[in-house]
Amino acid sequence: MSLHFLKTKLCLGCSKGFEIVDLETLETQPLLDFLLCYDEFAFYVEKSGRRSKANFFVHWEGAPVGFALQVPYVLAFDPMFVEVRHIETGVLSQVIQGRHMRLLFADRPPSLGSTGDNMARNPSSYPPQRVG
């Protein structure tokens, strides 16, 4: 099971899928789409954990160590650059080059993971967004 705190909600991931829980009312909300970001790629899943958008699969240009969501973009932070991609299409919109780049703050901080042994347990994840 994975647990991710959002601003006013809680996202639970378990073998049966994902649930969003309102922390004030404890009611669950339907999960529309969930963007999972790993250090090599990103894709959308639906409540049961199955891919929800067959045409959306991002292979990062670098090896990001942090992610941020700024609708309608997802930012992937590699130490040498930041990739800015559109969350509906995955199209690369911009690359911001630099040195020692890193994410310092995100309104919706993700939980970090990798595509190795921790891939299924710890992806970077973002709350549901109605897209498309």
SS3 annotation, 37-88: ECCCEEEEECCCCCECCCCCCEECCCCCCEEEEECCEEEEEECCEEEEEECC
**Is the preceding peptide bond at 110 cis, omega within 30 degrees of 0?**
no
Asked if 18 and 2 count as a contact pair (C-beta separation under 8 A), the reply is: no
Q: What pLDDT is attached to residue 124?
A: 52
Lowest mean pLDDT among 13-17, 33-37, 68-72, 81-85: 13-17
Residue 30: pLDDT band (50, 70, 90) is low
Distance CA 13, CA 113 (A): 14
Distance CA 9, CA 26 (A): 9
Q: What are the tens digits of pLDDT across the range 75-103?
A: 999 999 999 999 889 999 999 999 999 88
